[in-house]
Chain A
Amino acid sequence: GAVVSQHPSWVICKSGTSVKIECRSLDFQATTMFWYRQFPKQSLMLMATSNEGSKATYEQGVEKDKFLINHASLTLSTLTVTSAHPEDSSFYICSAREVRSSTNEKLFFGSGTQLSVL
């Protein structure tokens, strides 16, 4: 089946530094990828929709200058948490949309990245 690779799996960083998370679709092209954030015991919250070759669409309340998204190729989207602070500590997970036909598409998820900001 389709595989989405997300790296790193976990990262610890100092407050004020930037962290980049990569999401790759390994065996299909994904024009659309999604970034989610998950707090403990809470639901996955969609942060933004990443579109290849164009600007990402951010959900209400998500700071686009804080969470930079780049989708430069059909197989790679990156999320950069800029000037990270402890409140940014969370589990971030990406998903990639595989379009098989006009009526058949599926989402595949990465394994997630646990970010801890000290």
Chain B
Amino acid sequence: GEDVEQSLFLSVREGDSSVINCTYTDSSSTYLYWYKQEPGAGLQLLTYIFSNMDMKQDQRLTVLLNKKDKHLSLRIADTQTGDSAIYFCAESTSGSARQLTFGSGTQLTVLP
């Protein structure tokens, strides 16, 4: 079945850039998503990218997709303490948001 992998932890200094990486196994993945989960809150969709794109930028967020290596990354520029959260990548092969396969989540800690 599909598998999505992420490293569990990342620490960065406030003001630095954060890069969260994700790899997936399903070559038929159509949509790739990044979600943010703050403590005690639900998942919030941050951004998504279609598999026919290799980059998407949205304010401080940049998503890079290397389809050949099945590697997805999320770069957060000028990381702030409010960015501390768990970030999940997820993939969907259905072409819609019906069902997602999630990674284990990366705990981002922003140090002052």
Contact = CB atoms under 8 A, between A and B. Distances in A.
Interface string B34-78: 010000111111000000000000000000000000000000000
- SS class, residues of chain A in contact with chain B: strand
Nearest to A34: B99
B97 A106 contact: yes
B102 A41 contact: no
Interface string A81-104: 000000000000101010000000
B42 A93 contact: yes
Contact of B102 (A6, A32, A44): A44
B8 A43 contact: no
B4 interface: yes
Interface of A: 4, 6, 9, 32, 34, 41-46, 49, 93, 95, 97, 105-112
Given A43-B102, A106-B45, A112-B42, 11 more contacts: A4-B42, A32-B98, A42-B104, A43-B104, A45-B102, A97-B97, A106-B97, A110-B42, A111-B41, A111-B42, A112-B41
